[in-house]
Amino acid sequence: MNYNDLVTLGIAFGLGLLVGLQRQKANDEMAGVRTFTLIGVLGVLSGFLTRDYGNPFILPVLGMAVTALLVIANFIKLKSIAQPDVGQTTEVAALLMFAIGAYLVMGDRVLGVIIGASMAVLLHLKDWLHDFINRLKDKDIAAIMTFVGISLVVLPILPNKTFGPYGVLNPQNIWLMITLIVGLSVLGYFIYKFVGKKVGIISNGVLGGLISSTATTVSYARKTADTAGIGKLAAFVITTASTIALARVMVEVIVVIPEKISVMLLPLISQFVLMALICVVLYYNITRDSTDEKMPEPSNPAQFRSALVFGLLYGLILLAVAFAKEEFGNEALYTVAIISGLTDVDAITLSLSQLIKGGALEVSTGWRLILLASLSNLIFKGILAAILGTRLLAKWIAYSFGVAVIVGICIIWLWPSTWHF
């Protein structure tokens, strides 16, 4: 007896029960738990027959038979019900269930399980998805379409070749980094849109870091000028956004060079933990009457022009880093990191990560440059907060950012080379 086939049959039986349960719970008159289970089992049986008898016609014939049964059932439903549901969700799900059953035998069983479970979840989320779509505005649709265009239309057609001086400009690689950054920003934007307004100030800082810590700094600094007494709150939100921005940098490093994270992450995590502790201290110094402040709604984070600007900046930093290393050595890279980090940590982080991945930059130097760029960005945001905000905000930002910068410099200078995961 082939116990592997029994396991396959059991998986199809379970997936059929799962999808059928959802359809029957939704009061679908076309098919329920028994029908979907039988369709899944039929798919597995058709796969067994095709495999054992080596006949390629068995599977498509049984598939067409299932399709014919669904057509007949639909015809009967239309004749017998006064106002029938004209949707085709159940019919498509039934055909997919049959295909999954066959694929469990003829293809990858793990992938078949993932598809079946995903189908059940998708069917179950019908009401939530409809509500989500109804709440979308034109700019939200524009953000989704822009991201789809960036990731699924432009990215695949770009050449995966190196051009330009120093051999560091790869169009597909540059656009992949654009896709990563826009994707993170869009994710933060939609989390804010559907969750952020309902939760407190902690989420304002977290979402600000996901979307743009610099924009959050400017926004809250201006709020302190208009609303007296929220300096501590604004300092907390700005510091939290900057802390999450550092976590975002670590995510970028993990995505680009996962093989180097054992050396790269520990010093960055140490800086992150310090800044998180500063946020905790600030939080417990916030007065209770300041917790109703809301984060201003961000603009569309997936603007095509912004993506192009980031791509240009990323390419220029790649060239600047390669030029500085070639002409002046690693010492000049610290100046490049400081200047680049003033305006955009993402670009310098991804540029350095690519050089580390290609072997053009040592890992120990790379994480120091990334951390230095983050500290440079902190100083820049601290200056913005002091210029645009009140003295109270400037004082608290000086405390929080000052400690973070001093400790960060000590990490860069004194971190032992043997300390890593």
Single-letter residue type at 144: I
Both tokens assigned to 375: 């500290």
**Residue type at 418?**
T
* Amino acid found at 176: L
d(CA 337, CA 329): 14
Instruction: Return d(Cα 261, Cα 13) in angstroms, integer.
Output: 42
Distance from C-alpha of 243 to C-alpha of 278, rounded to nearest angstrom: 9
Q: Are 181 and 205 within one domain?
A: yes
Positive or negative, the CA dihedral 241, 244, 246, 252 is negative
pLDDT of residue 78: 65
Rg for the chain, CA atoms, rounded: 28
CB atoms within 10 A of CB 161: 10
Domain range for 26 is: 3-132
In a domain, 420, yes or no: no
The Cα–Cα gap between 104 and 5 comes to 10
Statement to judge: residues 38 and 77 lie in one domain: yes
Domain boundary among 132, 161, 192: 132
Same domain assignment for residues 82 and 14: yes
Which of the listed residues 132, 160, 183 is the one where a domain comes to its end?
132
- 168 and 308, same structural domain? yes
Q: 209 and 305 share a domain?
A: yes
Query: What pLDDT score was predicted for residue 289?
Result: 47
Give the span between the Cα atoms of 176 and 155, in whole angstroms: 7
pLDDT, one tens digit for every residue, the chain (421 residues): 567 888 888 888 888 888 888 777 766 656 677 888 888 889 999 988 888 888 888 888 888 888 888 778 777 766 666 555 555 777 788 888 889 989 988 888 888 888 888 888 888 887 777 777 787 777 778 778 888 888 888 888 888 887 777 676 888 888 887 787 777 677 767 776 666 554 556 666 777 777 778 777 877 787 777 666 677 888 888 999 899 999 989 998 998 888 888 888 899 999 999 999 999 888 887 755 444 455 555 555 566 676 777 778 777 877 787 777 677 776 788 888 888 887 778 888 888 888 888 887 888 888 999 999 999 999 989 988 888 888 888 889 999 999 999 999 999 999 887 877 6
Instruction: Verify that 203 and 309 share a domain, yes or no.
Output: yes
In terms of domains, do 232 and 367 share one?
Answer: yes
Provide the token pair at 222. Answer: 């201006």
- Between CA 416 and CA 8 the distance in angstroms is 52
Q: Name the DSSP class of 297.
A: P
Rounded Cα–Cα distance for residues 355 and 341 (Å): 17
Residue whose entry in the numeric block shows the structure tokens 């050396």: 263
Same domain, residue pair 46 and 180: no
218-223 long-range Cβ contacts below 8 angstroms, 24+ apart: 218/384, 218/388, 219/295, 219/296, 220/385, 220/389, 220/393, 221/384, 221/385, 221/387, 221/388, 221/389, 221/393, 222/388, 222/389, 223/293, 223/296
The confidence score (pLDDT) of residue 290 equals: 47
CB 243 within 8 A of CB 276: yes
Taking the CA atoms of residue 117, residue 122, residue 123 and residue 129 in that order, the dihedral angle to the nearest 10 degrees is 160
Structure tokens at 397: 């930002």
Decide if 421 is inside a domain: no
| Residues 192 and 254 placed together within one structural domain of the fold | yes
- Contacts (Cβ under 8 Å, ≥6 apart) of 351: 314, 317, 318, 321, 340
Q: What pLDDT sits at residue 376?
A: 92
pTM: 0.65
* 164 and 70 co-located in one domain: no
d(CA 365, CA 406): 19
**Domain termination site, one of 111, 132, 153:** 132
What amino acid is encoded at 131 in this protein?
D
The Cα–Cα gap between 145 and 101 comes to: 34
Question: Cβ distance 353 to 318 under 8 Å?
Answer: no
Are residue 74 and residue 160 in the same domain, yes or no? no
Looking at the structure, tell me whether residues 383 and 281 fall in a common domain.
yes
Task: Return the closest-CA partner of residue 248 out of 290, 291, 294, 301.
Answer: 301
